[in-house]
Structure 1
């Protein structure tokens, strides 16, 4: 049984003129202990999808799905409060902008202490305060913050963005979630510190069997840490499969372009040469192409692409394309 099973999820943005379909019938499933990457350019709808899963989108966003199951429970049949209770208990998310996510009026120590579930504490009430403090210190050390006393007394604006990102990771881990959604968890960090965070997430997956949805725009970077990968473009599902399938035998022209633009694929490229890229840029929400949204940029586009392609499944390797690259291998 899948831990998370979402089928044909759509997210519409309500505007004064007409609703905009920002995410168009995307399916996503995760098994227990799986580390899945969610990849795409900025503006592809990755963060929107993650926020829809945990239910933190604003009222102007309307979410629809054919299926939304969590551990076999149909969340669509539950009221909002019941759904939130289940998701807040089992799922945690590391947001992309830590400075905007932390409370500016409360110290880091207080915010971390509040995130720790009372069920993790034992003994009499006067013992729990010390246990909570010790748990906060352990969390800070776990994410690489050694000066815990200074950090606990500080407010978010007194810390760097990289330290705030580590604090956000600590808050997410405080509840011991079953599924951790990490939205660009190392975006504000130097490359030397990124490996430390990824190794921490990998150890949590291996030792605690924590499932992780790792969101990134860098395909090559997350191939070292994921079992499976889902690729999105402009709010549409593009391709999904094992990490090896996606990186070594991509079936979609967009995924192929992501792989070809990675440093690993260009080791033999002469100095100062241009990397392989698709022409144009990702469309804005107000001017989305009809059918396959990659059409205006796709080197294999034909007349049939004005209609949205159906998902094809090749032994677990799924692709949404009228003219996939399957025959080229």
Structure 2
């Protein structure tokens, strides 16, 4: 059973004059011990997805979905207090800007100790509890690769480097021993050495703690270095999902191919000083969304059928939402989902 299962999630935002669908029928599954990447260019809705998962939505937002479950529990119909308890213990989030998530008026040690659940502390006098919290805090920052705990636990957020701040945020997220860690673009703007350290830390936590990680980013190199599976978003719609190796080898959606083609590291035969591949146009605004497939106005394969929202189809564990997927003859691409479900790509092409 999936640890996190989201089916046909639609997010409505009331702008005052009208209501827009910021997310439309988005699907995402995260299994136990899995690292899944959520990828898409800026404005695709990645951070909106994170906010829907953790329940951090304002009153003028509304959610409709077939299901949003965590470990079999229905998050949609939970009370506020039940949802809060899950977010406190089972699902942790590391945001992209660590310095804005830390309290500038309190030392790192105090903030880290405060994040440790009371049930992790044995009964005793208050000084004994304080000593236990201190020891747990020291163990947490050692776990994320910070050796000089005396220096950093007594420091304020503005006194420590950004990469150390990010490690502190990960340590605070791990304090409750969660089952899921959501890293919301946590390596953005970092230099390559620091980024590598953070990525290695996430992989280590995944392997040693069996921690499921939802890695939200648009950095394809970082994603392919740590993730086993990937879900691609475009303008609030899920366009493709599957194993990373499968998507790299044979992307079925034009947007996924455009993302990979835009990264020179995935084009070994690209001549020096060649122009980079990019889709024409820009991502549409929420107030002016196109009908049907939202990639339609920019898609090189767009046709009249694309004014209808494509039905998600599956080839084993590889799903896509496109009327005319790549590598498929047109006569096969137009078939209903039942004709492709469960077959391999080669079997479909040769049918």
**TM above 0.5:** yes
Rounded Cα–Cα distance in structure 2 between residues aligned with 1:249 and 1:85: 41
The equivalent of 1:251 in structure 2 is 252
Higher RCO, Cα 8 Å, sep 6+: 1
How far did residue 287 of structure 1 move? 1.9
Partner SS for 1:224:
helix
Q: Deviations over 1:60-103 (max 9, x none)?
A: 32222111111112222322222222232200000112222222
Of 7-16 and 81-90, deviating more is 81-90
Q: Deviations over 1:256-285 (max 9, x none)?
A: 111112222233322222111111221222
Rounded Cα–Cα distance in structure 1 between residues aligned with 2:284 and 2:32: 35
Q: Does 1:22 align with 2:57?
A: no
- Say if 1:34 and 1:212, in contact at 8 Å, map to a contact too: yes
Q: Deviations over 1:24-78 (max 9, x none)?
A: 1101111111111111001110111011101112223222211111111222232
The equivalent of 1:212 in structure 2 is 213
Map 1:265-280 onto structure 2 (within 5 A): 265-280=266-281
- Say if 1:54 and 1:88, in contact at 8 Å, map to a contact too: no
How far did residue 205 of structure 1 move? 1.2
Q: Does 1:165 align with 2:166?
A: yes
How far did residue 202 of structure 1 move? 1.1
Gaps of 5+ in 2: 330-345, 347-351
How far did residue 195 of structure 1 move? 1.7
Partner SS for 2:170:
helix
Of 207-216 and 279-288, deviating more is 279-288
Q: Does 1:36 align with 2:25?
A: no
Gaps of 5+ in 1: none
Rounded Cα–Cα distance in structure 1 between residues aligned with 2:98 and 2:62: 25
Partner SS for 2:272:
coil
* CA gap 1:155/1:296 in 2 versus in 1, 3 angstroms: same
- Say if 2:97 and 2:186, in contact at 8 Å, map to a contact too: no
The equivalent of 2:262 in structure 1 is 261
TM-score in terms of structure 1 length: 0.94
Structure 1 runs, 4 residues or longer, greater than 4 Å off: none
Of 300-309 and 113-122, deviating more is 113-122
- Say if 1:220 and 1:259, in contact at 8 Å, map to a contact too: no
- Say if 2:88 and 2:176, in contact at 8 Å, map to a contact too: no
Rounded Cα–Cα distance in structure 2 between residues aligned with 1:161 and 1:18: 40
Map 1:1-329 onto structure 2 (within 5 A): 1-122=1-122, 124-125=124-125, 126-327=127-328
Q: Deviations over 1:207-231 (max 9, x none)?
A: 1111110111022321121111100
How far did residue 145 of structure 1 move? 3.1
Aligned CA RMSD, in angstroms, stands at: 1.7
> Which structure would you say has the larger Rg?
2
Rounded Cα–Cα distance in structure 2 between residues aligned with 1:227 and 1:135: 31
How far did residue 174 of structure 1 move? 1.4
Query: Number of aligned pairs?
Result: 329
TM-score in terms of structure 2 length: 0.89
